Structure formats: structure tokens, C-alpha cells
Amino acid sequence: MDAGRVTLAEFGQEWLVAYAVPNLEPKTLRTYQSLWDRHVLPSIGGVELRQLRPAVLDRFLAQLQREGLSPASVKKVAGLIQGVLQRAVEWERISQNPMRVAHKPRARRRIVIRPIAPAQVEQLREHLLADGRRRCATLVSVLAYSGLRPGEALALTWESIGERTIAVTGASSMGRLKGTKTGAERTVRLMSPLAQDLAEWRLAQGRPDPDRVVFPGESPDGTLTEGQWNRWTQGAFRAAKLAVGLPHARAYDLRHSFVSLLIHEGQSILEVARQAGHSPQTCLRDYGHLFDEFDPAEREPAEAVIKAARDQLVPLTYLSATAK
């Protein structure tokens, strides 16, 4: 194809304007631009599309590894190039995508998910409440007891919260509302301890209108900005997790607690996957070890487990007072 005479750098600029900017999230776009500028352009940016054979790409990826780039980062670069070249195929600049058959680094072994136990979730909540941070404590509850992804929790409005369920219809990314990660809407169960936390938070806010977001921020859409979210994870949440002995916990990890609670109730893979917003295959891949460890004879109602953790928790405010 004559169109294949354009260089990868030239086509990359066209891909950026025509595809990346309109379709990718700003954070993803920044990551891709950094990878492209640092690793792709200096090495193979001047190569014509028609000359990008699998062997050329194999040598390029091997060079990145020799230069000390981690296998995970090399895979990201390879994935970026494959996506760019796929657009080149669809736009009839080349007939085949050579990165599809190039030799990419092997995927690293997946990290086994270890959910945060309800007792530890309650310790996080108590620490935040003792510090006067009810919004933060409520956000922890939403993540841990509804299984929402952080972006979904930040986009939550009061009208999405029913008597028995929460409707998950969108997400917030860098302060901008968008669809969910999978593009599908779903409902999740509203457990009574979480319903109580949300009711107390709404009352503390002065009963905002139904269309207002549950966790208001400074973005044009009324949600938390990226900076506000980062300040929370690196500030109040970090202080709480260190205080309760969870130094490596991430806010995202709280969602695994909800999945674990459903599994230990005896819910099916299909139902767990539906509420988590996963496909059954992804659910089994990520949580298969939790299903394997579950003994049907030891079913525990999720709400009872949460309530027991709350009832047994000695308030940190009490511990602080007795230590003086």
C-alpha cells in the first residue's frame, strides 16, 4: 500500500488527533503520550509503516528490555503500538498489524487478591470518624460494602440509592462524568449497615437534593477532582490505614471486601460477577481462590458479619482516652 510510506511518527500524530483525543480518558492519554515520546519515537518513529515487520518490532522490544525497562512497561509499549497499528489497518494504511505476532514479554504472575476483612474496614471507619471525617468514613463504607469502583462511588447521586439497591449508572474520572468501566449499568445490594451510614452522611450534609452527588467536589460536574481524590488517598486514607496496620492497602482494595462477603453468603459466580460489574470469566479469574476456600456449610449473612464487626469494635476514641 502506498499509504504505508508514512512513518510511524507521522501516523502517530494522525492517530492522536483523530482517535486518541476524542476517545481516551485524559489520564490514559497522558500515559500513552509519555510512553510514545520516551520509547517509541526515538527508536522507530522514523520507520515507514510498511517497513514495520514483526522482526523489526521484536528487535525494538528486546532493545527496551536491554535498556532496563521492566517487562510490564515493555508490554504497555507493545500494547500501545498494537493499538495504533490497528487503527492503521482499519484506515487502510497497512494490510496487517505486525505487532500482533511480535514476541512480547510474558505476563507476570497475577497478584492474589486478599480482601480487607470487615473488622479492619470498621477500624478504618472508626479512625476516620474519631478524626471528624464522616465523609471519608462513608466513602470507605461505600467502597467496602457495595463493591463500587472508586470512580463509580464518586459519581454516585442520592437518587441512585434506593431502599434495597444502589443503581450504578456512571463513573467519575479526573472530575469528569462518564460511563462505567464496562459500559454497562447495574444494581448492587444496599446492605443495612451501609444504608445507615449513607443516611447519617446525608443528614450531616443538610439533606441535599436527590440529583446531587453523594461525595461532592470542586469539578464542573460537582464530583471530586483528581487532585482532591489524590489528597484523600495520600492524606486521610493513608493516615487511617497506617493507624490500623494496613500499610499496603489501596482504596480500590476495599471493593474486594464486598465480593468476599457475597462469596461467603454462598452467592453464585453469576450473581457475584453481576454485582461486581465483571464478566463471570473475570470474576472467576480474580476471585477463584476465594470460591475454592469457601465451605458451603459455613455460610454467613453479609449484613450479620458487618454488624458483628461493628458491635465488637472498641472505639479508637475510647482507646485514646484510656491511654492518657
Question: Which three cell numbers mark 206?
Answer: 443538610
DSSP letter assigned to residue 123: H
CA 324 to chain centroid = 41
3-state secondary structure of 246: coil
pLDDT of residue 114: 87
Distance of alpha carbon 194 from alpha carbon 214, whole angstroms: 13
Q: Which residues, 6 or more positions from 53, have their beta carbon under 8 angstroms from its beta carbon?
A: 98
Measured from the Cβ of residue 31, the count of other Cβ atoms closer than 10 Å reads: 14
CA dihedral over 172, 176, 177, 183, signed as positive or negative: negative
Distance of alpha carbon 215 from alpha carbon 229, whole angstroms: 11
Measured from the Cβ of residue 278, the count of other Cβ atoms closer than 10 Å reads: 20
pLDDT of residue 176: 77
DSSP string covering 279-299: -HHHHHHHHHHHHHH--GGG-
CA dihedral over 258, 260, 265, 270, signed as positive or negative: positive
Low-confidence ranges of the chain (pLDDT < 70): 1-4, 107-111, 174, 314-324
Distance of alpha carbon 250 from alpha carbon 240, whole angstroms: 11
3-state secondary structure of 116: coil
pLDDT of residue 4: 66
pLDDT of residue 216: 95
Measured from the Cβ of residue 40, the count of other Cβ atoms closer than 10 Å reads: 20
pLDDT of residue 318: 35
Domains of the chain, CATH where assigned? 2-100 (1.10.150.130), 118-323 (1.10.443.10)
CB 120 within 8 A of CB 305: no
pLDDT of residue 105: 83
Span 44-72, pLDDT tens digits: 999 999 999 999 999 999 999 999 988 88
Please, what is the end-to-end C-alpha distance for the chain in angstroms? 79
pLDDT of residue 3: 61
pLDDT of residue 290: 92
pLDDT of residue 107: 60
pLDDT of residue 134: 97
Distance of alpha carbon 15 from alpha carbon 140, whole angstroms: 39
Distance of alpha carbon 275 from alpha carbon 172, whole angstroms: 19
Distance of alpha carbon 212 from alpha carbon 205, whole angstroms: 11
Between CA 165 and CA 170, with CA 168 as vertex, the angle to 5 degrees is 160
Q: Which residues, 6 or more positions from 170, have their beta carbon under 8 angstroms from its beta carbon?
A: 152, 155, 177, 178, 179, 180
Nearest to 181 by CA among 219, 138, 152, 144: 152
3-state secondary structure of 67: coil
Element (H, E) at 135: helix 134-146
Span 128-162, pLDDT tens digits: 999 999 999 999 999 999 999 999 999 999 999 99
